[in-house]
Amino acid sequence: MRPVKSDRSFGMYLILTFLTCGIYGIWFWHNMAKDVNVICADDGKWTPNVLMYCLLSLCTCGIYSIFWWTGIADRTKSFGRRTGEHISNEPSSVMAWFIGGLFLGFPAWVGMYKVIENVNEAARAFNSFPDR
């Protein structure tokens, strides 16, 4: 099995998403969701792809995106609990930042940063397992 990316940068995500008018952001989310599905394969859940994310977020005026991002935080936090690894951010904290983002905008960026941090921590732990 291939190693998963463990060095995603929130700063580079913002810069490249801005420079590519959002195209890099879509690619970033797509690959992050794929890696989460690899890392957390034994939990019986599945993170929907970015097409599903975009369609459902559009149909629900952004509400689905809160559940998508919180679901990733939950899956990575659960992975940490199952494997004895420390994963920093709680899903409830991520959800709170995204709910704040519905009203103010910028708090959603904090929630996104926290999810990326969780995925990086889970990926480093996953890549360190000799029998993966």
What ranges in the chain are assigned the alpha helix state H?
10-19, 23-39, 50-59, 63-83, 91-104, 107-128
Residue 131 CB partners (closer than 8 Å, separation 6+): none
pLDDT at 132: 58
> How many residues can be counted in the chain?
132
pLDDT at 24 over 70: yes
pLDDT at 1 over 90: no
**What region does 87 belong to: left with phi over 0, alpha with psi -120 to 50, or beta?**
beta
pTM of the predicted model as reported, rounded to 2 decimal places: 0.91
Average of per-residue pLDDT values in the chain: 93
Between the CA of residue 8 and those of 43, 77, 82, 123, 127, what are the distances in Å? 23, 17, 23, 10, 14
Q: Give the residue extent of every domain in the chain.
A: 10-128
pLDDT at 62: 86
